[in-house]
Amino acid sequence: MQFLQALVFTALAYLSPGAKGAPPIAHAIAAEVSAHCVEPGALGGSCALDAIALGVTAYEEGKLCLGTACLRGDHDRSSSTFQTMGRTPEETALYERDLGAATRQAYYILRASAAQCPDEPLAGYTGGCGRRGARAIARPRLALARMLA
């Protein structure tokens, strides 16, 4: 876990030098990926690529914000630096106050997206496999994650 945490922190520091959210977000990502990833990872490269992709997602979706500093999206249904969408207002509030829960849900969504959209594995996270806009957002995110990994 320490290696993944250092790797993700380094990537986050590259994306947003001095971001106060980087250390706890890197820790949460490393803990979640270490606990649930099986090589070669959901994205087919490595568990490290999954972790870096989550870091890129945290940066792109919420600019590494923490807690209530994160703006809600999707008509107030998504929260946290990952913009994870809750099924209920209570679940959305949980993701806003609990970085571990938000990271767990984000990694679940990333894995599901990779399984559903093998040719554009992050498109499911960004809006859907068949949506051109989602694919256009997902493509550079995965390219950046691969470059950083």
Q: How far apart are CA 54 and CA 56, in angstroms?
A: 5
Tokens in use for 112?
Answer: 């599901």
Q: What is the mean pLDDT of residues 63-68?
A: 95
Please give the pLDDT value at position 113: 97
The pLDDT score that the predictor gives to residue 1 is 87
Please check whether residue 63 is in contact with residue 50, taking contact to mean a CB–CB distance below 8 angstroms: no
Q: Give the pLDDT score at 75.
A: 84
Residue 77 predicted with pLDDT over 90: no
Answer whether 24's CB lies under 8 Å from 64's CB.
Answer: no
- Which residue matches tokens 């809600």? 72
| Each residue's pLDDT tens digit, 15-57 | 999 999 999 999 999 999 999 999 999 999 999 999 999 999 9
pLDDT for the residue 97: 95
Query: Token pair of 26, please?
Result: 């890197």
Residue 131 confidence class, pLDDT cut points 50, 70, 90 = very high
Nearest to 127 by CA among 85, 89, 86: 85
User: What is the DSSP annotation of 62-129?
Assistant: HTT--GGGSPPBTTTTEETTTTEEPSSHHHHHHHHH-HHHHHHHHHHHHHHHHHH-TTSTTHHHHT-T
Model confidence band, residue 139 (pLDDT cutoffs 50, 70, 90) = very high
57 is written with which tokens?
Answer: 């997602």
pLDDT at 147: 97
